[in-house]
Amino acid sequence: MGRNSVAAADKIQSKMGEGTFGQVLECWDRERKEMVAIKIVRGIKKYHEAAMIEIEMLQQLGKHDKGGNRCVQIRNWFDYRNHICIVFEKLGPSLYDFLRNNNYRSFPIDLVRDIGRQLLECVAFMHDLRLIHTDLKPENILLVSPECVKVPDYKGTSRFPKGSSYFKRLPKSSAIKVIDFGSTTYERQDQTYIVSTRHYRAPEVILGMGWSYPCDIWSVGCILVELCTGEALFQTHENLEHLAMMERVLGPLHQHMLKRVDRRAEKYVRRGRLDWPDGAASRESMRAVLKLPRLQNLIMQHVDHSAGDLIHLLQGLLRYDPIDRLTAREALRHPFFSGDNKFRR
């Protein structure tokens, strides 16, 4: 692909993101006369290789796009002094940044519906191409526009720090795009290495049972709950505690799954059941699990209408056995998505 000098075509404006991989800069593209986001990857072999995979995936996704696949578009890429630079269309803040800047106030149900639909459309498109994202999370879902509106928010203000306002911000448009295809992989049998960011990781990944497309669907389920409540569903850093949290919210893990765990996960199982609370690392850990409500109660605490449809959808997205979990196309046909839509894209 095209140009090979960062200076020739792009003027750096500001930093948009930073991570272990390198940084993302907001730049002015003088040729196309538009703002772009350029990801500049550290010149270390591991990151260089991951960036080349990301480019391949982005090109693959772009090739099959018939308009509106909801994956960020790659504009260009080049190697600048051994740093891979990927030029993207410029997008707005991530859903995570938006929630955080809004004191972790939840999104209204109509916005959750609209975002959920687009996210599932993206996942269905990827799965049709035999691609699995493997790292879906609010940080990797960006609003297309940074514009927002202020609306009154009287509900639950007691939960927020003193002085926090009676207004909350909402995105003006609900349009989103998915980013970060550095961990995207082709479907293959028997993939057992650990994928996904902890909070959004499916039970089959933790139990070492092998994973495939359904691991993305589990992540979508966790993301939709988070948008409804404002906070991550499974806030944990440890496998056994994570599995115990799942049981608390979704009911007992299936015995037939616990019989199929791999050697690394055997220690979490005793006599065909999860070794909990006996295996708990501390009292705080037990308390953190006990604090969690059942899925139905959690959703009903935050959602006033369409709660029944949403709970039913989430139960399908968060089924323990990946074989039973809804596919993205099945989820898109769920009655939750037939509801009215107030938000504009």
Ligand X SMILES: Nc1ncnc2c1ncn2[C@@H]1O[C@H](COP(=O)(O)OP(=O)(O)OP(=O)(O)O)[C@@H](O)[C@H]1O
| Residues numbered 223-282 forming contacts with ligand X, rule: CB under 6 A | none
C-beta of 142 vs 280, nearer to ligand X = 142
C-beta of 109 vs 220, nearer to ligand X = 220
CA 67 – CA 81 distance, rounded (Å): 34
The interface region with ligand X, picked from 13-21, 157-165, 206-214, 286-294 by CB under 6 A, is 13-21
Q: How far is the CB of 22 from ligand X (least distance, A)?
A: 7
Question: Using an 8 Å Cβ cutoff, are 299 and 314 in contact?
Answer: yes
Q: How far is the CB of 75 from ligand X (least distance, A)?
A: 10
DSSP code of 338?
G
Q: Establish if 139 lies at the interface with ligand X (CB under 6 A).
A: yes
Q: Establish if 140 lies at the interface with ligand X (CB under 6 A).
A: yes
Q: Establish if 75 lies at the interface with ligand X (CB under 6 A).
A: no
The interface region with ligand X, picked from 104-112, 120-128, 138-146, 202-210 by CB under 6 A, is 138-146
Beta strands 185-186 and 176-178, pairing class: unpaired
The interface region with ligand X, picked from 87-95, 161-169, 229-237, 308-316 by CB under 6 A, is 87-95
- Which tokens belong to 71? 């994956």
| Residues numbered 292-321 forming contacts with ligand X, rule: CB under 6 A | none
Q: Name which position in 21, 98, 125, 343 contacts ligand X (CB under 6 A).
A: 21
Q: Establish if 74 lies at the interface with ligand X (CB under 6 A).
A: no
Q: Name which position in 3, 17, 44, 79 contacts ligand X (CB under 6 A).
A: 17
Q: Starting at the edge strand that comes first in sequence, how are the strands of the sheet with 22-29 ordered?
A: 10-19, 22-29, 34-41, 83-89, 74-80
CA 296 – CA 309 distance, rounded (Å): 11
Q: Exposure pattern of 268-294 as b/e (b: 16+ CB <10 Å)?
A: bbeeeebbbeebbeeeebeebbeebee
Number of residues that bind ligand X (CB under 6 A): 20
Question: Distance of CA 212 to CAs 11, 127, 132, 202, 259, Å?
Answer: 41, 10, 7, 10, 19
Q: Establish if 19 lies at the interface with ligand X (CB under 6 A).
A: yes
Q: Name which position in 6, 9, 10, 24 contacts ligand X (CB under 6 A).
A: 24
* Cis peptide bond N-terminal to 322, omega within 30: no
Residues found in the chain = 345
Tell me the three state secondary structure of residue 147.
Answer: coil
Q: Name which position in 9, 40, 72, 115 contacts ligand X (CB under 6 A).
A: 72
Q: How far is the CB of 41 from ligand X (least distance, A)?
A: 8
Whole-angstrom Cα Rg for the chain: 21
Active site residue 262: no
Q: Establish if 5 lies at the interface with ligand X (CB under 6 A).
A: no
C-beta of 21 vs 125, nearer to ligand X = 21
Catalytic residue among 135, 153, 180, 309: 135
Q: How far is the CB of 114 from ligand X (least distance, A)?
A: 20
**What are the two backbone dihedrals, phi and then psi, of residue 314, each rounded to the nearest 5 degrees?**
-60, -35
Question: Using an 8 Å Cβ cutoff, are 218 and 203 in contact?
Answer: yes
- Give me the active site residues, please: 135
Contact residues for ligand X, defined by CB under 6 A: 16-17, 19-21, 24, 37, 39, 72, 88-91, 94, 139-140, 142, 179-180, 182
